[in-house]
Each structure stands twice: as structure tokens, then as C-alpha cells.
Amino acid sequence: MDDLITNGSDLEQAALRELPEALIVVFDQELRFILAAGQALTRMGNPAACAEGQLLADAFPAEVWKPIEPLFRSALAGEIRSREVWTAGQRHCLMIDVGPLRVSGAPAALEGETVVAGGLAVMLDVTARRRSDQLAPQPQGDFAEVFERAPLGTGLLDLDGRWLLVNRALCEITGYTLDELIGKRFDGIVHPDDVYNDAEQRKQLLAGELSAFQIEKRYFDAAGETVSAIFSVSLVRDPDGAPLHFIAQLQDISARKQLEDHLRHLADHDPLTGLRNRRLFEHDLRLQVARSQRYGEQAALMVIDLDDFKRVNDEHGHAVGDTTLRAVARALTRRLRQTDLVARLGGDEFAVLLPHVDGEAASVVAESLARVVPSCGVDLGDDLLHPSASVGFAVIDHRCASAEQVLIEADRAMYAVKRAKTGQPA
């Protein structure tokens, strides 16, 4: 490694030849720009045509757009495709990765499904890498300026995954200094679950089956925080084709992941109580029924309905009603196990999925929950409101026909309890 560091000039020249010029494009279903970032179009197309709402075709010369248009359309069909494309006259070689941009919870989506709202493309100009002639050597100072000003965290890794060169952006993203990174294995800061998630791609890269790849990785920065990033890798070879080192780029996507997680939470949880909503709960219930049918797992479904809740809203107002629902949600969550799933199905109706319990255990829990709900005291100023609830349950085992049938049985059991309280016939 010392020889490689001493030979910084040779490594830097190789890195300059391999450092990609990236163009990132987010587009909609009509192949119009949503967002564009990168410098590649300054040489290959019309940067002024990259504004939001403009057609992709208008931003590229016809000789460029014709061979790459099928890749963009494939993304709209849900496909992920990568390809090297030479433009007319062999003037530019483009490495293009295009995939769908999926959105969950869209109006047209079925439960648990996502809709392709557009696509995301990353285009790299790899012409220099594919030319048989070598680029003329560039002065050391020119490389240092380009390398240091690269907006993405960029560096060279040896074949064992140790950093040989890193730029300022990489230090800022990871929180480590230059001296701390040089010689350090990148895998040493990667989240344990993601250390080997690119093993197959690296194998194909070394074998010449891939020219580059991208993958999401989580890593720990210098402060110990978990960061999500896009890890892009290409390979530099010597004149005889033997692997020399990797070109690696790291792009922090933590903010995007946090936004995705937040949107996913909003789509799957009740905004008033924070519990699972009906859509997510029914998905969990279907999974449990499938496990019970296949493996004989036992479980129970409980339906909990607050008694005479309409009177609470009518006499005390909806603000008190909302406070009551939140109090009941907290009480149920505290009483149950971490493995139990609690949901608000809608209105004043809750549901609980109890894995690995039989009918006898479910009966005990149902009685317990019926006592827990009245313990929720809601302050009315000069009085306390104590709600009550009716609880019914159904056992889930290998004989269950469907999740819908289990929910109907639990609902019937709950209404039987409610009728018994009022003296109505069953």
C-alpha cells in the first residue's frame, strides 16, 4: 500500500481518466423532467431544456435520444435496466442505469402495492474509459482541483477495500479526516447487515461482467450515527486488463430515506392515535392467517368497540372524544406484549392481533382489556370520563378460511358481548 500511496501521481491520473461525469434525471410518466442534476449535458445536450416539465427528448441530440429512449420507457413498465450506448459516430459512450420511481399509497394502488410514478436515470460518460488510446497526462494540480471539488464523496479503494485516496466531500460525508480514512477498510464502517450486500456485483465487476454498479448501503459516520448512502463502484485495470483498484463514490441519501420512512408511516398508521391503520392491520392479519394455515401457528384476533361512544361526542364534543381514543390506544399498547399488533380500524373500533396464543389465553386477555379501558380517565374539568368497551375474539389456526372470515367472527363475538350488556338477545 505504501508503494501505491507513494505512486500518487499514477493513481491520480488513473482516477482522472475514470472519474465519471454524471447526469441524474428524475422523470414522470410522460417522459418529462421532474429534476435534473449533473454536468454531462454541457457537452452532450442542451442544459436549458432540462427545466421541470420539459420533454426529455428536447434535451438531447436525436443521435443520443434514439438509442436511450427504450431504457426510459422500460422504467415506466417497472423494469430496471443498465446498458452502455455509443452515440452516432462513436463520439460518446454512455453508461446508463434507469429504474422506476415507485410511490406507495397512491389512489390507483391496491392494498400493499406501489405505483410507478416515473423513473430515475443515472448517466455516466465513460467514453475515455472505452477509448483504446490513452488520454494525455494532466498536470498534478489540475487533478487535485477536480478531485477535491467533486460534489460527491469520491475515492480509490484497493482490491481489499482500503481507502487509497479520498476527497474532501467524502471526509465531510463520513465525518472522518483524511488521515483517519487512508488505509481504513470501508467495510469497517458499514452496517453489519449491508457489508456483503454487494458481494455478487463486485464478483461480476472483477470478472468483467459489469462495468459499474450502484447499491444502497448504511454506514456509521465518525459520530456513530447511521447514514444511508448510494455506493457507486467502477474498476480500474492495468494495460493488460488486470484489476488495479476501485473507483468509489458515496452519496448521502439519509434525508430522502427519512422522508420515505415518514411517508410510509403516514400511509400505514392512524394519524390520531399513532396505531396501525386498517390497511396495514389487515395486511398483517392476512400474513398471520397464511402462517397458521401452512405451519399450524395459533393466534387470536380481538375486536374492541367502545360502548356508547356517540354519546361522548354528543355531550362533550369531538375534542374529548379524540382525547378518549388516544387514551384508550395508550392503555391497550401498555397492557399488551411488544409482539402484539394494535390497530384502530376506524371510529371507536380497535383490533389486536395476538400471535402464539390459544383460545384459553385469548379469553384471559379479552377480560383483561375489558378492565383496562375503564381505567382511562379523561379529565372533563369538574369530572372524569371513564369509557367502557366490549371485547370479542376469534381463534386463528390451520382451519381458518381467510383473514376476512376471522375478522367477521371476531366482530360477531364483540357484538354478542355488547348485546349481553344491554340485555338484548344474542
CATH assignment at residue 48: 3.30.450.20
- Give the pLDDT of residue 262: 72
For the record, the C-alpha cell of 45 comes out as 445536450
Mean pLDDT of the region 372-377: 87
Higher pLDDT, 269 or 81: 269
Query: Does 27 lie in the same domain as 114?
Result: yes
Percent above pLDDT 90 for the chain: 36
- Average pLDDT of the chain is 81
The reply to whether 15 falls in a domain is no
Our count of domains for the chain comes to 3
CATH assignment at residue 374: 3.30.70.270
The C-alpha atoms of residue 287 and residue 332 are separated, in whole angstroms, by 22
Report yes or no: 226 and 253 within 8 Å, Cβ to Cβ.
no
Catalytic residue, chosen from 198, 340, 348, 411, is 348
pTM above 0.85, yes or no: no
The reply to whether 159 falls in a domain is yes
Query: Does 158 lie in the same domain as 99?
Result: no
Query: Does 219 lie in the same domain as 187?
Result: yes
- Give the pLDDT of residue 89: 67
Pseudo-torsion of CA 360, 361, 367, 369, nearest 10°?
Answer: -150
Query: Does 388 lie in the same domain as 377?
Result: yes
Query: Does 295 lie in the same domain as 242?
Result: no
Report yes or no: 324 and 310 within 8 Å, Cβ to Cβ.
no
The reply to whether 378 falls in a domain is yes
Concatenate the DSSP letters of all residues of 150-170 into one string.
-SSEEEEE-TTSBEEEE-HHH
**What confidence category does residue 1 fall into, taking pLDDT thresholds of 50, 70 and 90?**
very low
The reply to whether 216 falls in a domain is yes
Percent above pLDDT 70 for the chain: 80
Domain that holds residue 55: 20-130
Catalytic site residue 348?
yes
